[in-house]
Amino acid sequence: MTFVIGENCIKCKYTDCVEVCPVDCFYEGPNFLVIHPDECIDCALCEPECPANAIFSEDEVPEDQQEFIELNAELAEIWPNITEKKDPLPDAEEWDGKKGKLDQLER
Ligand code: SF4
Ligand code: F3S
CATH code of the domain covering residue 34 = 3.30.70.20
Please indicate, yes or no, if residue 107 is contained in any of the structural domains: no
88 contacts 54 by C-beta, under 8 angstroms: no
Smallest CA separation from ligand 1 atom 2, residue? 43
pLDDT recorded at residue 68: 98
Residue 4 CA: which ligand is closest?
1
Please indicate, yes or no, if residue 47 is contained in any of the structural domains: yes
Please indicate, yes or no, if residue 88 is contained in any of the structural domains: no
Please indicate, yes or no, if residue 103 is contained in any of the structural domains: no
Ligand 1, CB within 6 Å, residue ranges:
3, 20-21, 23, 25, 35, 40-46
pLDDT in tens, 79-99: 999 999 999 999 999 999 999
Which of 27, 46, 82 is the best mutation target for the ligand 1 pocket, counting ligand atoms within 8 Å of the beta carbon and taking the most? 46
- Distance from C-alpha of 61 to C-alpha of 63, rounded to nearest angstrom: 6
Q: What is the pTM of this model?
A: 0.98
Please state the domain count of the chain: 1
Domain of residue 76 covers 3-82
Please indicate, yes or no, if residue 73 is contained in any of the structural domains: yes
- Distance from C-alpha of 7 to C-alpha of 30, rounded to nearest angstrom: 14
Please indicate, yes or no, if residue 93 is contained in any of the structural domains: no
pLDDT recorded at residue 25: 98
pLDDT recorded at residue 69: 98
- The per-residue pLDDT of the chain, averaged, comes to 98
Strands 26-28 and 33-35: antiparallel
pLDDT recorded at residue 60: 98
